């Protein structure tokens, strides 16, 4: 007799956990969610849930805002550019390894 597979839920953190791990006030985390800087999902009761990398994202936002004196729109732009750089560096390493033909050939 086979048993049905249970869905595997990814690890998740609530608002308080993210705030504590990031060492910021929960309202600041909520503001980052409202600004679209940190992704979160709300359940049926409205409680926010985050992925396990959310505390690092919050700390990065706080650092960029404080150290570079960027407003949150500037922080969003920098985060987007850093993500694009990561993608391009990944492509570059694939091309250099010979696993892919460069688009210019």
In 3-state terms, what secondary structure has residue 4?
Answer: coil
Q: Given CA atoms 80, 86, 89, 94 in this order, what sign does their dihedral have?
A: negative
* Alpha carbon distance 26, 32 (integer Å): 10
The CATH code of the domain at 13-97 is 1.10.1660.10
Q: Look over the chain and give the mean of its residue pLDDT values, rounded to a whole number.
A: 89
The model's pTM is 0.77
Which two structure tokens, joined as six digits, stand for 95? 């091309």
- DSSP label at residue 102: -
Instruction: Using pLDDT thresholds of 50, 70 and 90, give the confidence band for residue 36.
Output: very high
pLDDT of residue 102: 58
Give per-residue pLDDT as tens, 60-105. Answer: 999 999 999 999 999 999 999 999 999 999 888 777 776 666 565 5
């Amino acid at each position: 007799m086979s048993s049905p597979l249970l869905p595997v839920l990814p690890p998740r953190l609530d608002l308080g956990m993210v705030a504590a791990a990031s060492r910021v006030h929960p309202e600041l985390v909520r503001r980052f969610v409202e600004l679209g800087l940190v992704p979160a999902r709300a359940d049926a009761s409205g409680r926010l849930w985050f992925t396990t990398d959310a505390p690092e994202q919050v700390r990065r936002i706080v650092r960029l805002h404080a150290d570079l004196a960027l407003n949150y729109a500037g922080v969003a732009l920098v985060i987007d550019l850093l993500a694009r750089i990561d993608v391009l560096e990944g492509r570059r390493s694939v091309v250099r390894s010979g696993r892919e033909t460069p688009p210019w050939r």
